[in-house]
A and B are shown apart, each in its own frame.
Chain A
């Protein structure tokens, strides 16, 4: 018997789409996508390959228990009872022996859904159990969220994507939605904006596929120096008096302090285009003309991608972009953008104010509550319904391996003995792989919920197999134009895989937690739907989507701009804070209260460049969603993992296309083929993130994992600096 099921696809790829799944006798045989009314939500290549993901021969079929040394990947099949009994026993033992803070938990996006995605379930379970040590810092956009909250009081700072059609001028800064999706249909709206005559400019060290298709002009820039160019553009606007002064007077605070910095009144250094050229490699004349165009073309959208924020002082880049957009008066208007954290597709990261019923409460974590709040905590920093935890008991994600390795002796709040990982692959996806390899054997117990044998799974004692979103019920709210999506169970779970909720329920029973949860996943979806704007649950379930029809695109801060007396910005001053008193009170010279350029360590002017002369960036890869989809043959054949190196840098090293090269710095070594190209700035190399590391007998990575080379230093506000690293490349 064959049926066709419509369901939402949400794979942490940056989009959410509609999938139509052909199921014959309980087996998926084909996958189609939305063919209904426009805007259709058409899947990307990852969604189209999902059948291969569900039935991948390397998917984890049963609970597994480690039998060899940790990290060797030797496991045996065990029953769910044995796996869960052991996990529960270890949780109890570690809590009783060392205290709850010895339980370290890393959750991630997973599928970024309401019920099973992110960390909610595990956090609730372990909070009720007595607490755990959590993490802080978002992998992707800590700098962007911090800067948006500091400047605008909220992370909800982007217009819906269809508003691009109202833009006359679009500046894509480190932004590549052809690969990163950045909301389904974003590139489709970009194409339409271009066809309507919008001029599109790309500032990026790479000539990306997005730039290739849309950019009228490409401005290559040295990584980690974007702030200097944005600041010099602000300088040009002031010098030529083309900033929107009326807007600044009415809606912002602290502009004078910024102006004094730009003009060099505070430090004797005018931040002119020549000053920026030296740092960025962008010709001063180009900086000036870009500033003029931006200030004089309205409406204009500066879309500040989040990759340049994943740098040594990434928050300054975002703060400078936000300030520049305010200087041009493009906030709260159709066709503008406030230069903030570019739209994240899925709730709670998007702008549109969705109505929703209650999600599972994560609960209060006693370990968090016992420790003081961190100094760099912004009071208004909320994501969706939750304040972002900023307890000083938490470990920054970049420092997790270091924390496991050194514990209290290294200044951390506890010695960590048990590591619980859900919806995340920290060992491949967090910096400094070698440190992970050193740290993980120190743990007394490690458990992961996974679908594949990632490096994180390979180091675990217990692996619990997890169902894909086609094997359970869940929900999302998202979109370039807003909609709700239903992720429906269209097939039975693969072999012995279980949903995250079912795993947690089984553990709760073993841990003696009675009031953990009484609802099935479908009952949770029903509750969320009850409080939403969805008219009919059954229709929503059947169609997989419920769209919100807006007469016009949604514009962030429209009411704050139209009626500022009645609608102050949600900042302490009620205005756009170019100067932030809250940041000033943090009293950190590396976290200044106005946007400033701070020379990055491991940047283009670091003395370390003598030894490691190339700047490494670690960009997203079309065929993966971070480290997901890594092993699927349909996707692997489309893009070999390779180091992107410029023709100039390859020639001086006698390297040819697809030669094996050694990419090395003090943190590690990767041997990988290279792609020699005109499409990257000389002095910059790119090793796309998400590949799983695979160390040979000499400790050299042959998997092409970028995090073998990235640093575990984070920016002052807590951004991962995965795009700030120096390396050398040589022919093998």
Chain B
């Protein structure tokens, strides 16, 4: 097992600090590409509601579907830490191919607004990890609801579940994310 995320769904208030922090750190302009998003899941009818929030970024799957389908091997899963990275110079661009986007149930692959833009996505802030820092989203979270690190550590530290409201665990892909979930325990 490599590196992955922890997300505390009971704490996330949809404040969106992680989303903007990611855009600033990676210098991504406003537009369709966003390496980190927060989605809202609304259940029930007025006034009996449950509303939950879920981070949406690359979960650096153990068996990533995007890597398997990429026709040019532009996407690789690093053997040393499991981070899924993309080499834009190898990517065919969105006008020619978007198989990775279709293969990913978590909407991780992102494309900019420009013509034939190349795939881009969360790299777990490799540049920061090398300096011993947590990813920018983790460092940004005002609720301390995010963490990142080796999956074994995250699992034992947070004693989390592999599913959350709005996310079904894919046994095929095995997304590297652990949750403190708002789902009722069975």
Give the chain B neighbours of A573 by CB distance below 8 A.
none
A577-585, A596-604, A631-639, A702-710 - interface stretch:
A631-639
Cross-chain contact A185 with B142 (CB below 8 angstroms): yes
Query: Which chain A residues in 618-656 approach chain B with CB under 8 Å?
Result: 622-623, 633-638, 646-648
- The listed residue (A44, A212, A637) touching B17 by CB distance below 8 A is A44
- The listed residue (B13, B30, B52, B142) touching A636 by CB distance below 8 A is B30
- The listed residue (B10, B14, B29, B45) touching A178 by CB distance below 8 A is B14
Cross-chain contact B13 with A187 (CB below 8 angstroms): yes
Report Cα–Cα, A155/B184, bound state, in Å: 43
B47 within 8 Å of A by Cβ?
A: yes
Cross-chain contact A42 with B141 (CB below 8 angstroms): yes
A187, A212, A646, A682 — most chain B CB neighbours (10 Å): A212
- The listed residue (B15, B30, B42, B140) touching A678 by CB distance below 8 A is B42
Cross-chain contact B46 with A646 (CB below 8 angstroms): yes
Cross-chain contact B140 with A43 (CB below 8 angstroms): yes
The residue in chain B whose Cβ has the minimal distance to the Cβ of A43 is B17
Report Cα–Cα, A187/B50, bound state, in Å: 18
- The listed residue (B13, B29, B46, B50) touching A209 by CB distance below 8 A is B13
Give the chain A neighbours of B136 by CB distance below 8 A.
32
B69 within 8 Å of A by Cβ?
A: no
- The listed residue (B19, B49, B133) touching A207 by CB distance below 8 A is B49
Cross-chain contact A187 with B142 (CB below 8 angstroms): yes
Report Cα–Cα, A112/B30, bound state, in Å: 29
B20-28, B83-91, B116-124 - interface stretch:
B20-28
Cross-chain contact B14 with A209 (CB below 8 angstroms): yes
A590 within 8 Å of B by Cβ?
A: no
- The listed residue (A35, A52, A191, A633) touching B143 by CB distance below 8 A is A191
Cross-chain contact B45 with A188 (CB below 8 angstroms): no
A31 within 8 Å of B by Cβ?
A: yes
- The listed residue (B11, B42, B46) touching A191 by CB distance below 8 A is B11
The residue in chain A whose Cβ has the minimal distance to the Cβ of B133 is A35
The residue in chain A whose Cβ has the minimal distance to the Cβ of B28 is A634
Report Cα–Cα, A33/B51, bound state, in Å: 28
- The listed residue (A42, A207, A622) touching B16 by CB distance below 8 A is A622
Cross-chain contact A637 with B46 (CB below 8 angstroms): no
B70 within 8 Å of A by Cβ?
A: no
Give the chain B neighbours of A191 by CB distance below 8 A.
10-11, 143
A191 to chain B, nearest CB (A): 5
Give the chain B neighbours of A194 by CB distance below 8 A.
10
Give the chain B neighbours of A42 by CB distance below 8 A.
17, 140-142
B148 within 8 Å of A by Cβ?
A: no
B144 within 8 Å of A by Cβ?
A: yes
What band does the interface of chain B fall in when counting residues whose beta carbon is under 8 Å from A?
35 or more
Interface residues of A, dominant DSSP: mixed
B184 to chain A, nearest CB (A): 14
B136 to chain A, nearest CB (A): 7
Query: Which chain A residues in 558-604 approach chain B with CB under 8 Å?
Result: none
B57 within 8 Å of A by Cβ?
A: no
Say whether, besides A210-B13, A679-B42, A48 and B24 are in contact (CB < 8 Å).
yes
Report Cα–Cα, A307/B33, bound state, in Å: 36
B103 within 8 Å of A by Cβ?
A: no
Cross-chain contact A212 with B52 (CB below 8 angstroms): yes
Cross-chain contact A635 with B17 (CB below 8 angstroms): no
Report Cα–Cα, A30/B140, bound state, in Å: 13
Cross-chain contact A633 with B49 (CB below 8 angstroms): no
Query: Which chain A residues in 184-208 approach chain B with CB under 8 Å?
Result: 184-185, 187-188, 191, 194, 207
Report Cα–Cα, A213/B143, bound state, in Å: 11
Report Cα–Cα, A14/B136, bound state, in Å: 23
Give the chain A neighbours of B140 by CB distance below 8 A.
33, 42-43, 48
The residue in chain B whose Cβ has the minimal distance to the Cβ of A52 is B24
A45 within 8 Å of B by Cβ?
A: yes
B27 to chain A, nearest CB (A): 8
B12 within 8 Å of A by Cβ?
A: yes
A491 within 8 Å of B by Cβ?
A: no
Cross-chain contact A31 with B19 (CB below 8 angstroms): no
A700 to chain B, nearest CB (A): 27
Report Cα–Cα, A688/B176, bound state, in Å: 38
B104 to chain A, nearest CB (A): 21
Task: Write out, one digit per residue, whether chain A residues 676-709 have a CB within 8 A of any chain B CB (1) or not (0).
Answer: 0111011000000000000000000000000000
B17, B45, B136, B142 — most chain A CB neighbours (10 Å): B142
A495 to chain B, nearest CB (A): 22
Cross-chain contact B46 with A682 (CB below 8 angstroms): yes
Say whether, besides A185-B142, A678-B44, A213 and B30 are in contact (CB < 8 Å).
no
B151 within 8 Å of A by Cβ?
A: no
A218 to chain B, nearest CB (A): 6
Cross-chain contact B23 with A634 (CB below 8 angstroms): yes
B139 within 8 Å of A by Cβ?
A: yes
Cross-chain contact B20 with A634 (CB below 8 angstroms): yes
Give the chain B neighbours of A623 by CB distance below 8 A.
16
Query: Which chain B residues in 44-84 approach chain A with CB under 8 Å?
Result: 44-47, 49-53
Report Cα–Cα, A185/B11, bound state, in Å: 12
The residue in chain A whose Cβ has the minimal distance to the Cβ of B45 is A678
B53 to chain A, nearest CB (A): 8
A49 within 8 Å of B by Cβ?
A: yes
Report Cα–Cα, A218/B46, bound state, in Å: 10
Report Cα–Cα, A481/B29, bound state, in Å: 35
- The listed residue (B16, B139, B141, B143) touching A32 by CB distance below 8 A is B139
A406 within 8 Å of B by Cβ?
A: no
B46 to chain A, nearest CB (A): 4
B106 to chain A, nearest CB (A): 19
Report Cα–Cα, A218/B29, bound state, in Å: 38
B31 within 8 Å of A by Cβ?
A: yes
B15 to chain A, nearest CB (A): 6
Report Cα–Cα, A29/B63, bound state, in Å: 35
A668 within 8 Å of B by Cβ?
A: no
Cross-chain contact B142 with A51 (CB below 8 angstroms): no
Give the chain B neighbours of A678 by CB distance below 8 A.
42, 44-46, 49
Say whether, besides A678-B42, A682-B46, A45 and B143 are in contact (CB < 8 Å).
no
Give the chain B neighbours of A637 by CB distance below 8 A.
30-31
- The listed residue (A184, A213, A646) touching B11 by CB distance below 8 A is A213
Report Cα–Cα, A636/B19, bound state, in Å: 13
Cross-chain contact B49 with A44 (CB below 8 angstroms): no
B11 to chain A, nearest CB (A): 5
Give the chain B neighbours of A431 by CB distance below 8 A.
none
A485 within 8 Å of B by Cβ?
A: no
Cross-chain contact A622 with B143 (CB below 8 angstroms): no
Give the chain B neighbours of A32 by CB distance below 8 A.
25, 136, 139
The residue in chain A whose Cβ has the minimal distance to the Cβ of B11 is A191
B10, B16, B25, B52 — most chain A CB neighbours (10 Å): B16
Cross-chain contact B24 with A30 (CB below 8 angstroms): yes
Report Cα–Cα, A184/B31, bound state, in Å: 29
Say whether, besides A188-B142, A220-B47, A45 and B16 are in contact (CB < 8 Å).
yes
Give the chain B neighbours of A210 by CB distance below 8 A.
13
The residue in chain B whose Cβ has the minimal distance to the Cβ of A194 is B10
Cross-chain contact A48 with B14 (CB below 8 angstroms): no
B16 to chain A, nearest CB (A): 5
Cross-chain contact B15 with A44 (CB below 8 angstroms): yes
Report Cα–Cα, A126/B141, bound state, in Å: 44
Give the chain B neighbours of A49 by CB distance below 8 A.
20, 24
Which A-B residue pairs are the 3 nearest by beta carbons?
Answer: A633-B30, A212-B51, A178-B13
A178-B15, A187-B142, A678-B44 known, 18 other contacts, Cβ within 8 Å: A30-B24, A32-B25, A32-B136, A32-B139, A33-B140, A35-B133, A42-B141, A44-B15, A45-B20, A178-B13, A209-B13, A209-B14, A213-B10, A622-B15, A634-B24, A638-B19, A678-B42, A679-B46
Identify 26 residue pairs between A and B in the complex whose beta-carbon atoms are under 8 Å apart, listed by A's number.
Answer: A35-B133, A43-B140, A44-B15, A45-B15, A48-B24, A188-B143, A191-B11, A207-B47, A212-B13, A212-B49, A213-B12, A213-B14, A213-B53, A218-B47, A220-B46, A622-B16, A634-B30, A635-B20, A638-B20, A646-B46, A647-B46, A677-B42, A678-B44, A679-B46, A681-B46, A681-B47
On B, residues with C-beta under 8 Å from A are 10-17, 19-21, 23-25, 27, 29-31, 42, 44-47, 49-53, 133, 136, 139-144
